[in-house]
Structure 1
Amino acid sequence: MRIEELIIDGFKSYAVRTVIANWDSAFNAITVLLTPLISRALTQSQGLNGSGKSNILDSICFVLGITNMSTMRAANLQDLIYKRGQAGVTKASVTIVFDNKDTKNSPIGFEEYSQISVTRQVVMGGQSKYLINGHRAQQHTVQNLFQSVQLNINNPNFLIMQGKITKVLNMKPVEILAMIEEAAGTRMFEDRKDKAFKTMAKKDKKVEEINALLAEEIEPKLEKLRNEKRAFLEFQQTQSDLERLTKVVIAHDYLKFQDRLNRSGADLDEKKNRILAIEENMSQKKNEISHIERDVRRVNQEREKEAKKGGRFQALETKVKETSHELVRINTVVELKESTIAEEQDRIQKIREAIRLVCSMPY
């Protein structure tokens, strides 16, 4: 990728929107981050000290998402706003536009774009946001974009300032090799590999803890739940069988008592018929007694008449004795019938009570 434009607005000494274009083709996103050739790109930016030449480099560091504020010569994000917001400017914005026509070196996922613009804004209070091609993005998304073209902005040596050149020249070979590895991006992958191994170790330990938890707590609880489930299913089956058998017993009792009720009703009808017959017989006997009593009264009257006449007294007296014996016999039969009626009525009462008991039973 090659830088086409750098747009600065409200950043440090740039109070108004400033567009820096016509960048040297040698000043690309790789060169600016790996070597001190930044001076080649800034050769045309001449001016006195404090005129803002270094702020251009600070703006590039800012828009790329550097978190180390000392690299941008500031204590906090609010220091990056023009005069710390005291001149009416309340936000700082920097946009860097890359030429992305070389799709072979394009960031992953951005091959279809001919240009890629990255914007970073900061407002009073220190709130910061990123935009990629005008769309809101997270900081790690911006970092991944540059890492996909081997740019690690968190690399302490990704940018060699003018004051560090002498220090770099005095480095030992091992230190220079480490710096080159970091600048080339290979150290980034080593760090990622170390992080991946640490993550895997943590995950393996977590898996062991989970397996131990399964063996010590979860499995016994599951087995207990299985046993409880089996017991509950057996209880449900027993409850179902009990309900079914209870219904069978109730149906059997219902049919049995219904049969008893029917037989009791038939027996009751028979007893009623017998009572009616006895009552009819009693009525007949009472009629006979009434006739006999009339006969007795008539005979007594005739005896009195005969006694007065002195005639057939002996025959009438004999007839009176016979009639008296017949009256005694009939009275005895009547008493027996009345006793039988009382017994039958008592039995009828018991049958009625039994019928009420059967009818009141729940089914």
Structure 2
Amino acid sequence: IMQGRITKVLNMKPPEILSMLEEAAGTRMYEMKKDSALKTLEKKQSKVDEIDKLLDQEILPALEKLRKERMQYMQWANGNAELDRLKRFCIAYEYIQAEKVRDNTVSGVQQIKLKIMEKDDTSTRLKEEIEEMEKKISLLTAEKEAQLGGELQTISEKADSLSCSLVKETSVMKNQEELLKAEKKTAQKVTSNGCFQHLLS
């Protein structure tokens, strides 16, 4: 302490004495740095507080919204994948059913073709049988007509002969009837004459 300043030092207040001691010890510079660092720390803390406030008010709600959207997207993606899987399953099922229908249809068509071929064979066979029957009928008709022609001629001749005989018998019968009538008349006359003579006697 310089001469003449002892009284001043003795009259100093404790903070002033402390400041003087720090200056004499060389710690004043560190205190200034400390104060500067504290001020910087306060500024940094205010910035941190602002950042925390920004996080609480803007970033965290946006992040939560993004998380919800991500969850919804994952649910949609899972649902879409499940839908695609079910669609593929349905398409595979429809394909299998279509193959079964196709196989059944092909089998049915083959059976129908076989039936058609059988019907065609039956129709052809029936046509042949009909043609054979028609030929037989034609032959039988020709034979019958030939036989009937001869029989008709015989019958016609017999009818002519019988007609002649009938005419003769009819004329003979008429003659006999006339003779019978004449004899009846004669018999009546004779009878009437005999009864008259009997009455006279």
User: What is the aligned partner in structure 2 of residue 233 from structure 1?
Assistant: 74
Q: Normalized against structure 1, the TM-score is what? A: 0.33
* Cα distance in 1 for residues equivalent to 2:130 and 2:151: 25
**Equivalent of 2:56, from 190, 215, 229?**
215
User: What is the aligned partner in structure 2 of residue 20 from structure 1?
Assistant: none
* TM-fit CA distance, 1:198: 1.0
* Cα distance in 2 for residues equivalent to 1:287 and 1:200: 122
Give, as a single letter, the amino acid of the residue that structure 2 aligns with 1:230: M
* TM-fit CA distance, 1:188: 2.3
Whether 1:250 aligns to 2:91 is: yes
* TM-fit CA distance, 1:297: 4.5
User: What is the aligned partner in structure 1 of residue 40 from structure 2?
Assistant: 199
Identity percentage over the alignment?
A: 36
Supply the RMSD in Å over aligned alpha carbons. 3.7
* Cα distance in 2 for residues equivalent to 1:269 and 1:183: 121
* TM-fit CA distance, 1:302: 4.9
* TM-fit CA distance, 1:259: 2.5
User: What is the aligned partner in structure 1 of residue 150 from structure 2?
Assistant: 311
Q: Normalized against structure 2, the TM-score is what? A: 0.56
Specify the SS of the correspondent of 1:238: helix
* Cα distance in 2 for residues equivalent to 1:312 and 1:226: 120
Give, as a single letter, the amino acid of the residue that structure 1 aligns with 2:94: D
User: What is the aligned partner in structure 2 of residue 74 from structure 1?
Assistant: none
C-alpha offsets along residues 77-123 of structure 1, whole Å, 9 cap, x if unaligned?
Answer: xxxxxxxxxxxxxxxxxxxxxxxxxxxxxxxxxxxxxxxxxxxxxxx
* Higher strand residue share: 1
Give every structure 1 segment of 4 or more consecutive aligned residues whose post-TM-superposition deviation is greater than 4 Å: 177-185, 299-304
Specify the SS of the correspondent of 2:150: coil
User: What is the aligned partner in structure 1 of residue 129 from structure 2?
Assistant: 288
User: What is the aligned partner in structure 2 of residue 266 from structure 1?
Assistant: 107
* TM-fit CA distance, 1:183: 9.0
Structure 1 pair 312–202 and aligned structure 2 pair: CA distance change class (3 A): farther
Structure number with greater Rg is 2
Give, as a single letter, the amino acid of the residue that structure 2 aligns with 1:193: K
* Cα distance in 2 for residues equivalent to 1:234 and 1:186: 65
C-alpha offsets along residues 145-169 of structure 1, whole Å, 9 cap, x if unaligned?
Answer: xxxxxxxxxxxxxxxxxxxxxxxxx
Aligned ranges 1:35-114 → 2 under 5 Å: none
Give, as a single letter, the amino acid of the residue that structure 2 aligns with 1:240: A
* Cα distance in 1 for residues equivalent to 2:24 and 2:144: 167
* Cα distance in 2 for residues equivalent to 1:184 and 1:257: 102
The runs of 5 or more residues in structure 1 that have no matched partner are 1-172, 314-363
Specify the SS of the correspondent of 1:206: helix
Return 231-240 or 205-214, whichever deviates more: 231-240
Whether 1:186 aligns to 2:27 is: yes
* Cα distance in 2 for residues equivalent to 1:180 and 1:209: 39
* TM-fit CA distance, 1:301: 5.3
* Cα distance in 2 for residues equivalent to 1:312 and 1:281: 41
Structure 1 pair 312–277 and aligned structure 2 pair: CA distance change class (3 A): farther
* Higher helix residue share: 2
